[in-house]
């Protein structure tokens, strides 16, 4: 079964990846891949970068087309450093996790904060 879902993301408690003086703190964006939990078919989704914020609410809305009745999504939060990418953490969730409309999960590795997913 194929379908479409619209998702928006926030993160809370991201660690500071910019400890240098004057660098502020983490400049986070989120990259999303769609797949079945083993293979990630489509990784072409990225939010905007939010500068110097450990609790970003990304305004980017992803409109995702999927196959199957319970697709998986992998998100990776990345600190931007003038175009260079430094991964902060990642997590995987399934469409069924979003039955209530909102899903929240810790990023891996531990201590990397958490991501909140909203379906609407």
Helix (H) or strand (E) holding 115: strand 114-119
Stretch touching Ca ion by CB under 5 A, among 5-13, 65-73, 81-89, 101-109: 81-89
CB of 50 to Ca ion, least distance (A): 10
Report DSSP state, residue 57: B
Report DSSP state, residue 9: E
- Told to check if 57 binds Ca ion by CB under 5 A, we report no
User: From edge to edge, which strands make up the β-sheet containing 40-46?
Assistant: 40-46, 28-35, 72-81, 84-94
Cβ-based neighbour number of residue 90 at 10 Å: 18
Is residue 26 a contact partner of residue 112, using CB atoms and an 8 Å limit? no
Residues of this chain, 14-53, that bind Ca ion according to CB under 5 A: 18, 23-24, 27, 52
Stretch touching Ca ion by CB under 5 A, among 33-41, 56-64, 74-82, 91-99: 74-82
Residue 38 vs 84, nearer CB to Ca ion = 84
- Told to check if 81 binds Ca ion by CB under 5 A, we report yes
Binding site for Ca ion (CB under 5 A): 18, 23-24, 27, 52, 79, 81
């Amino acid at each position: 079964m194929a379908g479409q879902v619209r998702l928006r993301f926030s993160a809370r408690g991201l660690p500071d990846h910019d400890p240098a003086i004057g660098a502020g703190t983490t400049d986070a964006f989120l990259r999303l891949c769609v797949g079945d939990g083993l293979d990630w078919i489509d990784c072409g989704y990225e939010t905007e970068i939010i500068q110097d914020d450990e609790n970003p609410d990304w305004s980017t809305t992803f409109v995702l087309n999927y196959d199957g009745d319970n697709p998986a999504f992998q998100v990776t939060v990345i600190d931007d450093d003038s175009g260079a990418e430094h991964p902060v953490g990642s997590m995987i969730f399934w469409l069924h996790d979003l039955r209530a409309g909102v899903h929240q999960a810790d990023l891996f590795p531990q201590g990397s904060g958490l991501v909140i997913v909203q379906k609407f």
